[in-house]
Structure 1
Amino acid sequence: MDISAPVHAGSPVFPGDTAYSQQWCATIAPGCPVNVSAITLSPHVGSHADAPLHYDAEGPAIGAVALDAFIGPCRVIHAIGAGPLITWEHIAHAAQNLPPRVLVRTYERMPVDRWDGALAAYAPETVERLADLGVVLIGIDTASIDPAESKALPSHQVIRRRGLRVLENLVLDAVPEGDYELIALPLKFTTADASPVRAVLRALG
């Protein structure tokens, strides 16, 4: 199952962030055998992995982050309509014997065509408890694990301190609650604060 958000000129971005744009540098024509484009975008457009550099001035760029957290067993947990913060009570029903990766679905239908300033986010205490249980990656179907208006980014600071990885803007609309294999590898951008991912889930076994 492809759980990646579509990326195009209309993809929503955080207010003030760089939207996706594309220009054609070459097009197929007599004397030119290929189409070649140039793209401009924030690495936070669409489904993406944050690098520690995003929330830690001394943190590594995404190209220096090990890939092991981004591939392996995961659990999708439904907390549809939960918010503004996802507390432990919203996910406790599916928190037994957790695999190392947890993705939380909060939308009935993820708004791939508009910005949602009222997005649901993780309560930092929830992230702490997941880390205590051995979770190494958390994901969500909203644009941030912190509220859109937050300046302190407490949940990002928990993952900084606990060494977790994060995926944001996943599309979990069609994904039943349960366990899967996650594959969501970031690009090897050597100086970037995030990277787009093509996130997929596969059935286990």
Structure 2
Amino acid sequence: MSATPLPPSPSSHRLWDISPPVHAGSPVFPGDTAYSQQWCATLGPGCPVNVSAITLSPHVGAHADAPLHYAPDGAAIGALALEPFLGLCRVIHAIGCGPLITWDHIAHAVDATLPPRVLVRTYARMPQDRWDGDLAAYAPDTIARLADRGVLLVGIDTASIDPADSKPLPSHQVIRQRGLRVLENLVLDDVPEGDYELIALPLKLTTADASPVRAVLRAL
């Protein structure tokens, strides 16, 4: 399954749904909490509704990291301003560039018109049904150079902006130092390079280290 182009309506531009489906089979970082659901109430005599309870890591599916995820004194996701998660962005292709996205991989799409949000596609087809321990990640210098150009948010179609086995998390630390925001696990499979409007608002979870998002791109 790939990024799903939604049909345009007379009053809007074309939308691209860049969020993977979330269900019990969604891949998670090893040791993280997978999605599960149970029914607390079901339709029937004496019960007018279905009501479920869900358990999941906030890093399942498309999600936004909070500073609390990588800094003990960092802000929770519900305390963050929404502006970085909404507005003009650029999708850049660096397919098969792993293990790290270097400046050379994205320089072809960086110019004086670079918007304050950058999403990088690394997969030809994002693996939505399995964990990929060899995921591509950002080189810390790439994050720093994007920040120097006024970028407020970086996104990627893998589960992390750092390699899966990294302990120092150098790219997350650059994010912390420079005050950027992060989106991970996006589905950019069929999204052409270019500029879009990004809509990917996190939930107002007041103590959480991340939040699921329904990430959408709108054609300009």
Is 1:134 the counterpart of 2:150? The answer is yes
- After TM superposition, list the pairs within 5 Å mapping 1:138-153 onto structure 2: 138-153=154-169
Which residue number in structure 1 is paired with residue 13 of structure 2? none
User: Structure 1 unaligned runs (5+)?
Assistant: none
Counterpart residue type for residue 201 of structure 2: L
Pick one of 128, 131, 138 that aligns with 1:122: 138
Which residue number in structure 1 is paired with residue 181 of structure 2? 165
Offset of residue 174 of structure 1 = 1.3
Instruction: State the distance in 2 between where 1:56 and 1:66 align.
Output: 18
Which residue number in structure 1 is paired with residue 12 of structure 2? none
* SS at structure 2 position matched to 1:182: strand
Instruction: State the distance in 2 between where 1:83 and 1:123 align.
Output: 10
Instruction: State the distance in 1 between where 2:76 and 2:155 align.
Output: 19
Superposition CA RMSD, Å: 0.4
Instruction: State the distance in 1 between where 2:206 and 2:172 align.
Output: 21
- After TM superposition, list the pairs within 5 Å mapping 1:45-56 onto structure 2: 45-56=60-71
What count of residue pairs does the alignment treat as equivalent?
A: 204
User: Structure 2 unaligned runs (5+)?
Assistant: 1-15
TM-score, normalised by the number of residues in structure 1: 0.99
Which residue number in structure 2 is paired with residue 22 of structure 1? 37
TM-score, normalised by the number of residues in structure 2: 0.92
* SS at structure 1 position matched to 2:104: helix
Instruction: State the distance in 1 between where 2:20 and 2:173 align.
Output: 25
Which residue number in structure 2 is paired with residue 196 of structure 1? 212
Measured against aligned partners, the alpha-carbon deviations of 1:76-126 in whole angstroms (never above 9, x if no partner) come to 000000010000000001011210000000000001110000000000000
Counterpart residue type for residue 178 of structure 1: G
Instruction: State the distance in 1 between where 2:146 and 2:20 align.
Output: 25
Q: Following TM superposition, where does structure 1 have runs of at least 4 consecutive aligned residues deviating by more than 2 angstroms? A: none
Instruction: State the distance in 2 between where 1:22 and 1:138 align.
Output: 31
Which residue number in structure 1 is paired with residue 110 of structure 2? 95
Instruction: State the distance in 2 between where 1:14 and 1:54 align.
Output: 14
* SS at structure 2 position matched to 1:157: helix
Equivalent pairs: percent with the same residue?
Answer: 84
Pick one of 59, 63, 70 that aligns with 2:85: 70
